[in-house]
Amino acid sequence: MTDAPAPTPARRERMPSGILVRTPYPLATLAIALATVIVITIVGFVLGDVDFPLAHALNTLHTGALGAFTTAVYHVISPAPAIGVTIIVTGVLWFVQRDVRPAAAFAGTVAITWVPSDLVKELVQRPRPDTSLLPHPFATQPDPSYPSGHTVFIVAIVIALTWVLRDTRWHTLAVTLGTVIVVVVVLALTIDAVHYPTDTVASVVWALAVAPAARLVWVDWAMPRIPVLRRPALTARH
């Protein structure tokens, strides 16, 4: 029995890589995401202000240059700028890779991970930390607190970008810097006390569990049905 011939250069070029690699366990991926969403939602209903003392303690750090920095972080990844960041990164990926599919996969994965968290936020209706009891209160936010959309967004964008760069020399750097950015955002939001610490923890868990399902639904199932995003058929060089 002979070994299968190695893929030709032309065939290798068309093999999916990075974020386009199909999910090997789709049912498990969906089940994990669904279970996580259900648990996070149920937990949100019972949290109350259980971690307000920690939110209060972290808010005491909101002074001087650190306070100005954490406030800036909050504004930079607010919904409108976050959408702008996603569009810019998508455009850069398209330009650099000369292929719309990884860029579209990136944008879709981020959006499908991020947007549903707002639905849970409206369902749970956890109030923000009471500004009247904080040493350095942030401007009152009109929407509920749990989970943190800012945190879901930044974790989703980091995950999607590391998937795009998975088969490149930039992958390790993306993972390292992405992890640092997520930690900075979580600390910034809790020092601002616009969110309870448990809001941000739940949001990190949300993104880690939901992003693979979002990628599955968008990249593996939806994109092949869109002509411009469909992967070209594999062809061997003769």
Task: Give residue for tokens 């808010």.
Answer: 59
Q: Which structural domain range is residue 185 located in?
A: 25-228
**Cβ(43)–Cβ(203) below 8 Å:** no
Q: Is residue 238 part of a domain?
A: no
- Looking at the structure of the chain, the number of domains it has is 1
Q: Which residue has the higher pLDDT, 230 or 143?
A: 143
pLDDT recorded at residue 212: 98
Q: pLDDT at position 105, please?
A: 96
Distance in angstroms (rounded) separating the CA atoms of residues 17 and 50: 44
33 lies in a domain? yes
Residue 61 belongs to a domain: yes
Q: Are 21 and 215 in contact (CB under 8 A)?
A: no
SS3 199: helix
Q: Is residue 20 part of a domain?
A: no
With b meaning 16 or more CB within 10 Å and e meaning fewer, what string describes 196-235? bbbbbbbbbbbbbbbbbbbbbbbbbeebeeeeebeeeeee
Distances (CA, A) of 53 to 14, 50, 101, 118, 196: 55, 8, 46, 25, 10
Q: How many CB atoms lie within 10 A of CB 55?
A: 25
Residue 184 belongs to some domain of the structure: yes
CA distance 233 to 171: 27
The answer to whether residue 10 is domain-embedded is no
For residue 1, with 0-12 CB atoms within 10 Å meaning exposed, 13-18 middle and 19 or more buried, which class applies? exposed
- pLDDT given for residue 15 in this prediction: 63
**pLDDT for 12:** 43
Q: Is the pTM of this model over 0.95?
A: no
- Asked, for residue 189, whether it belongs to a domain, the answer is yes
pLDDT per residue as tens digits for the range 127-172: 999 999 999 988 777 889 999 999 999 999 999 999 999 988 999 9
Q: Classify residue 84: in a domain, yes or no.
A: yes
The SS3 of residue 137 is: coil
Q: What are 1-32's pLDDT values in tens digits?
A: 445 455 444 444 456 678 999 999 999 999 99
* 136 close to 59: Cβ distance less than 8 angstroms: yes
Tell me the Cα Rg of the chain: 20
